[in-house]
Amino acid sequence: MSIFDWEHAFDTVDLRHQITLGEANTPLVQSKSIGPSNGLSNLYFKLDHCNPTGSFKDRYAAVAVSHMMSAGETKCVATSSGNTGASLAAYCARAGISCRIAIVETAPLGKLQQMMSYGADIYRIEGFGIDVEATAKTFALLEAASDAEDTALQVSAFRYSPLGMSGIRSIAYEIQMQLGPVDHVFCQAGGGGLAIGAAQGYLQLHEEGSIDVVPKVHVVQPTGNDTIATPLRDGDAQARDIQCTTKVSGLQVASVTDGHIAVTECRKTDGTGYLVEDEFVWAIQKDLARSEGVFCEPAAAVSVCGAINALQMGEIQADDVIICPITGSGFKDPKSVERLVSDLDCPIVSNEQFEDILAS
């Protein structure tokens, strides 16, 4: 059985069909620097980049591939901007399922290499993830391919893979077990699946009587991918398609995908939307590494940016208990790491020179 709780709100999968790599039960640590320096005394990081393939998407892939095994499906067709593909490729490899993935054109090399290492067949599609029409066409092709009896379409979105995405709710259960009551959860969003999973998990805990108050689940997006954040803040009933301009990989989702559901579920928790600039994301990514010891990709820093902005806007209190998921490892995006260390060097020195350095 997987480490996380299969029986709590997940559709049951027989034990013999469950595929696990030891996902979930990730650490929850309190901020020692970024929180206090920005006026947040109870800021916590949920370190989901510690999952087996380096991202929170393992919560989804473990459940999705297990359901495929249960259904006797032997072929997976999927979409990804990187992390979903890596997760699916790994769990499909463990299950002996073939995996073919349409990749967002701008996906980082590190994520492509990870997918190929697991043996997945991957293809970067022109305009996919950036242009609305190209993205819609890619989805249409994959939906047609998944009509085959032994084939499943896997997209890390409740709209396409509700069984697999039920695994994302586990993040709420874990936070409750690890810390207890919280006030706010800030979720970075491309398609919106993380925010939906967190909101639904907490709403279910409240319905069962396990918690008295549901924390506010907020959506945080780069300004250049504002499909959900502004509609949620403005009281709109639905999300919207946009032309994506953000450079934050992993959050480049031009189409609505799960946006409508995210607006609905987060609003049930009294959550709202926040927008952050790419440059602020790069800065917080560096700060997480150098002042917190948390090595993450840019998309993972977006939640923290949202929490800081919320306090500056006077929409949360300094002593509120705040959770920011850290969703993906820094190893996922080598170019962002180059930016992260552009002011540093690793020179070759002699032992004599090193002795002088140590003495200085």
pLDDT (tens digit per residue) in 8-36 = 544 668 888 889 999 999 999 999 999 99
What is the domain partition of the chain in residue ranges?
15-50+165-340, 58-164
Q: For residues 275 and 35, what is the distance between their CA atoms, to the nearest angstrom?
A: 19
Whether pLDDT at 244 is above 80: yes
pLDDT at 9: 40
pLDDT for res 255? 78
The pLDDT value given to residue 7: 54
Helix, strand, coil share of the chain (percent; to 5): 45, 15, 40
pLDDT at 149: 87
For residue 150, how many C-alpha atoms fall within 13 Å in the half-sphere facing its CB? 5
More confident residue, 4 or 209: 209
Q: Show Cβ contacts of residue 128 under 8 Å, excluding neighbours closer than 6 positions.
A: 79, 102, 103, 104, 105, 134, 135, 138
Is the pLDDT score of 346 beyond 80? yes
pLDDT over 80 (residue 342): yes
pLDDT of residue 5: 55
Q: Among the CATH numbers 3.40.50.1100, 3.40.50.300, 3.40.630.10, 3.40.50.1860, which is that of 58-164?
A: 3.40.50.1100
Asked which of 55-59, 196-200, 224-228, 340-344 is least confident by mean pLDDT, the reply is: 340-344
Of the pLDDT bands very low, low, confident and very high (cuts 50, 70, 90), residue 153 is: very high
How does pLDDT run across 272-327, given as a tens digit for each residue?
999 999 999 999 999 999 999 999 999 999 999 999 999 999 999 999 999 999 99
Mean pLDDT of the chain: 92
The first and second tokens of residue 136, run together, are 């819609």
Q: Does position 2 have pLDDT exceeding 50, yes or no?
A: no
Which of 105-109, 236-240, 309-313, 341-345 is predicted with the least confidence, judged by mean pLDDT? 105-109
Give the DSSP H/E element, type plus range, for residue 75.
strand 75-80
User: Are 15-50+165-340 and 58-164 in the same CATH fold?
Assistant: yes
- CB atoms < 10 A from the CB of 313, how many? 10
pTM beyond 0.85: the answer is yes
Q: Measure CA 316 to chain center.
A: 23
* 333 DSSP β-pair partners: none
The CATH number of the structural domain formed by 15-50+165-340 is 3.40.50.1100
* CA triple 136-274-40, angle to 5 deg: 145
Judged by average pLDDT, the poorest of 41-45, 208-212, 252-256, 258-262 is 252-256
Both structure tokens of 320:
């509120």
Residue 174 has pLDDT above 80, yes or no: yes
Burial of 256 (C-beta count, 10 Å sphere; 0-12/13-18/19+): buried
- Average pLDDT value for residue range 205-214: 95
pLDDT for 349 equals 94
Encode 231-252: b = buried (16+ Cβ within 10 Å), e = exposed. Answer: bbbeeeeebebbebebbbbbbb
Beta bridge partners of 218: 186
CA nearest 251: which of 210, 293, 195?
195
**Could you tell me if 334 and 110 are in contact, meaning their C-beta atoms sit under 8 angstroms apart?**
yes
